[in-house]
């Protein structure tokens, strides 16, 4: 293929920073977590206790089925806890990698420059695919060797390779899928949007398949990857199937690529209106236009998530019937409280996810500033506070809409639950979302250089929620999270004070952020 080696070298050169960072992080976590997990359990009993909590419907829906109960090792528990997250991380890495080297390049015109060189039609796509393969292969090999070298409890050599290979195979399949979308859609946003949507669908299919124990989980590459059951079955067949699927998709992508124009897509970009509609007027119109995609997409996603978990709530009984350990737990704890703690847990996770669009929209003014668009707006007759408050108002509406849709989705799919109680349980998280909103406003408005810190707060809240009990963190660690004060309805009691405090705090930091924004330099 003309110019392949030049092109491939060009990709490697451009990946020195980003690709290397992904490589280091992926390998460090894939291998490094093994030592965390092997130090976590003192005896077989504590591992069984851990497996108990993971064998609940909420956890199976989140992370996939539990296996290897007959002879648990820390490595098995690690795989159950972490594998699905590594699938997602690998998918994200591959989607960004392919978008970076295909559509994003074409849009910036870099691709044309390359094509002017003696380079074949397929060279770009083929080199990108090879680059993605090399990246995944390198991560797989290094992680497997790292796992073996760390010699963690239960991490056999075969298991280490099964573990790393399942992640690499799922990742590479996403590279191939994204390459196909890059031929169909003509903008980077369209491509990554389609790829992430497919990722969501795969996750939901896996969830539903794992809850009901049917074939849907094998249809989803993520579910298929989990069937490897590393450190236990070490089944390599799913890996082979995943790689075959990737090869077929990649071949399809290359076939489409050979037959299209540079810059064009099979699905054409829409031609726009020459005049603004009545709604695109003033600062609120602009804020709405820039946020509505985020609002609609997240609302739909959160609704689907609520519905998926709701549907699973209906099958808790079935789940218990087919699961000896869980039915014992159910009998000892009382059926009502198991269903309640399932709901409480689902809503806690859902509320954390709802804070993502809230943060995104509240902080949009900073993103606009960094892209150099805000100065043009402020050169018009636009009060700074009013521009900021437009985004804040939309973030506020988003907090209400997403939480409500989560509860409604759950209610519709679950059937037979009280809608009012579900809505209350969901809206309990409003003060936490508002506090996240307020902190975003404070950072973006008053200390813009630190605006990115809000994602550290988010990551902290997530980590405390997810690992807090697992790592037996002190109570104070949980209280430092904006979500830490919220009583988890319906399994815990309702209380007003823990809701009022974050709500009032949110108002205060929000006001400080807006005031700070009115006084500072922009740009």
Partner 1 sequence: MATFEIRSLVKRFGKFTALDGVNMSADAGEVHAFLGPNGAGKTTTIRCMLAILKATSGTVTLFGRDAWKDAVELHRRVAFVPGDVNLWGNLTGGEVIDLFLSMRRAGKPDKARYDKYVSLFDFDPGKKCRTYSKGNRQKVALVAALVSDAELFILDEPTSGLDPLMEKIFQDSVLELKQSGRTVLLSSHIMSEVEKLADTVSIIRGGKVVENGTMAELTSKARGKTLEELFLSEYEGAG
Q: Is 41 left (phi over 0), alpha (psi -120 to 50) or beta?
A: beta
Q: Out of 276, 500, 507, 508, which residue is the one contacting partner 1 (CB under 8 A)?
A: 276
The CA-based dihedral angle spanning residues 453, 457, 463, 465, taken in that order and rounded to the nearest 10 degrees: -170
CA separation for the pair 215, 231 (Å, rounded): 23
DSSP-derived secondary structure for 279-317: TS-HHHHHHHHHHHHHHHHHHHHHHHHHHHHHHHHHTHH
Q: How many residues bind partner 1 (CB under 8 A)?
A: 37
Contact region with partner 1 (CB under 8 A), list: 59-67, 127-135, 150-158, 277-285:
277-285
| Least Cβ distance, residue 282 to partner 1 (angstroms) | 6
- Given a contact cutoff of 8 angstroms between Cβ atoms, the answer to whether 415 and 314 are in contact is yes
| Least Cβ distance, residue 516 to partner 1 (angstroms) | 12
| Least Cβ distance, residue 324 to partner 1 (angstroms) | 54
Q: Out of 285, 314, 498, 516, which residue is the one contacting partner 1 (CB under 8 A)?
A: 285
Per-residue contact string for residues 128-167; x = within reach of partner 1 by CB under 8 A: ----------------------------------------
CB nearer to partner 1: pick between 52 and 284: 284
| Least Cβ distance, residue 396 to partner 1 (angstroms) | 23
Q: Out of 274, 476, 496, 497, which residue is the one contacting partner 1 (CB under 8 A)?
A: 274
Q: Which 89-118 residues touch partner 1, going by CB under 8 A?
A: 107
Q: Out of 210, 283, 340, 428, which residue is the one contacting partner 1 (CB under 8 A)?
A: 283
Contact region with partner 1 (CB under 8 A), list: 213-221, 269-277, 351-359, 451-459:
269-277
Answer yes or no whether residue 245 interacts with partner 1 by CB under 8 A: no
Q: Out of 275, 449, 475, 496, which residue is the one contacting partner 1 (CB under 8 A)?
A: 275
- Given a contact cutoff of 8 angstroms between Cβ atoms, the answer to whether 187 and 45 are in contact is no
CB nearer to partner 1: pick between 372 and 474: 372
Q: What is the 3-state secondary structure (H, E, C) of 321-342?
A: HCCHHHHHHHHHHCHHHHHHHH
Cis peptide before 273 (omega within 30 of 0): no
CA separation for the pair 218, 402 (Å, rounded): 30
Mapping DSSP to helix (H, G, I), strand (E, B) and coil, where does residue 197 land? helix
What is the number of H-type helices and E-type strands within the chain?
Answer: 25, 0
Q: Which helix (H) or strand (E) holds 97?
A: helix 74-101
Q: Which 357-386 residues touch partner 1, going by CB under 8 A?
A: 371-373, 375-383
| Least Cβ distance, residue 382 to partner 1 (angstroms) | 5
CA separation for the pair 389, 380 (Å, rounded): 17
- Given a contact cutoff of 8 angstroms between Cβ atoms, the answer to whether 190 and 265 are in contact is yes
| Least Cβ distance, residue 391 to partner 1 (angstroms) | 14
Q: How many other C-beta atoms lie within 10 A of the C-beta of residue 303?
A: 21
Answer yes or no whether residue 516 interacts with partner 1 by CB under 8 A: no
Answer yes or no whether residue 272 interacts with partner 1 by CB under 8 A: yes
CB burial string 31-64: b at 16+ within 10 A, e below: bebbbbbbebbeeeeebeebbbebbbbbbbbbbb
Q: Out of 43, 261, 493, 521, which residue is the one contacting partner 1 (CB under 8 A)?
A: 521
CA separation for the pair 491, 53 (Å, rounded): 16
In the DSSP assignment, the letter for residue 368 is H
| Least Cβ distance, residue 285 to partner 1 (angstroms) | 7
Q: Out of 142, 162, 286, 408, which residue is the one contacting partner 1 (CB under 8 A)?
A: 286
- The residue among 351, 345, 298, 302 whose CA lies nearest residue 481 is 351
| Least Cβ distance, residue 289 to partner 1 (angstroms) | 7
Answer yes or no whether residue 522 interacts with partner 1 by CB under 8 A: yes
Contact region with partner 1 (CB under 8 A), list: 264-272, 320-328, 334-342, 410-418:
264-272
Q: Which 180-209 residues touch partner 1, going by CB under 8 A?
A: 187, 189
Q: Which 423-482 residues touch partner 1, going by CB under 8 A?
A: none
| Least Cβ distance, residue 379 to partner 1 (angstroms) | 4
Binding region for partner 1 (CB under 8 A): 107, 187, 189, 269, 271-277, 280-283, 285-286, 289-290, 293, 371-373, 375-383, 519-523
């Amino acid at each position: 293929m003309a110019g392949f080696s030049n092109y491939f070298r060009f990709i490697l050169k451009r990946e020195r920073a980003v690709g290397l960072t992904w490589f280091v992080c992926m390998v460090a976590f894939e291998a490094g977590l093994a030592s965390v997990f092997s130090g976590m359990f003192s005896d077989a009993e504590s591992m069984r206790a851990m497996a108990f909590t993971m064998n609940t419907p909420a956890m199976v829906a989140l992370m996939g089925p539990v296996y290897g109960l007959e002879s648990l090792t820390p490595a098995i528990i690690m795989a159950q806890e972490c594998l699905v997250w590594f699938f997602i991380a690998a998918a994200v890495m591959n989607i960004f990698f392919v978008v970076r080297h295909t559509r994003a390049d074409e849009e910036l015109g870099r691709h044309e420059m390359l094509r002017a060189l003696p380079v074949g039609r397929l060279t770009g796509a083929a080199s990108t695919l090879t680059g993605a393969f090399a990246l995944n292969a390198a991560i797989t090999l290094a992680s497997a060797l790292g796992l073996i070298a760390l010699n963690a409890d239960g991490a056999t050599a075969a298991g280490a390779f099964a573990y790393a290979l399942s992640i690499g195979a799922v990742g590479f399949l996403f590279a191939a899928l994204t390459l196909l979308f890059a031929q169909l859609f003509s903008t980077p946003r369209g491509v990554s949007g389609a790829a992430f949507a497919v990722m969501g669908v795969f996750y939901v299919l896996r969830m539903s398949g794992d809850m009901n124990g049917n074939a849907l989980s094998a249809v989803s590459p993520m579910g298929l990857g989990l069937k490897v059951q590393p450190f236990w079955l070490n089944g390599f067949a799913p890996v082979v199937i995943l790689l075959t699927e990737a090869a077929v998709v990649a071949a399809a992508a290359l076939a489409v690529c050979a037959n299209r124009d540079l810059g064009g897509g099979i699905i054409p970009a829409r031609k726009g209106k020459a005049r603004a509609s009545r709604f695109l007027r003033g600062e609120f119109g602009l804020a709405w236009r820039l946020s509505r995609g985020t609002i609609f997409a997240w609302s739909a996603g959160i609704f689907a998530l609520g519905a998926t978990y709701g549907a699973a709530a209906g099958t808790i009984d079935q789940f218990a019937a087919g699961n000896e350990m869980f039915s014992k737990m159910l009998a000892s704890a009382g059926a009502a409280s198991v269903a309640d703690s399932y709901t409480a847990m689902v809503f806690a996770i859902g509320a954390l996810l709802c804070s993502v669009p809230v943060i995104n929209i509240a902080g949009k003014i900073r993103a606009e500033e960094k892209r150099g668009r805000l100065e043009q707006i402020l050169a018009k007759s636009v009060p700074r506070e009013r521009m900021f408050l437009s985004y804040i108002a939309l973030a506020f509406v988003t907090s209400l809409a997403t939480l409500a849709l989560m509860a409604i989705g759950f209610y519709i799919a679950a059937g037979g639950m009280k809608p009012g109680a579900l809505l209350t349980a969901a809206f309990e998280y409003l003060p936490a979302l508002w506090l996240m909103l307020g902190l975003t406003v404070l950072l973006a408005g008053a200390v813009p250089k630190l605006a990115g810190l809000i994602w550290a707060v988010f990551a902290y809240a997530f980590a405390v929620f997810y690992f807090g009990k697992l790592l037996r963190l002190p109570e104070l660690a949980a209280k430092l999270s904006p979500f830490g004060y919220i009583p988890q309805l319906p399994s815990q009691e309702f209380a007003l004070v823990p809701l009022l405090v974050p709500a009032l705090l949110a108002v205060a930091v929000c006001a400080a952020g807006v005031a700070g924004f009115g006084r500072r330099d922009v740009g």
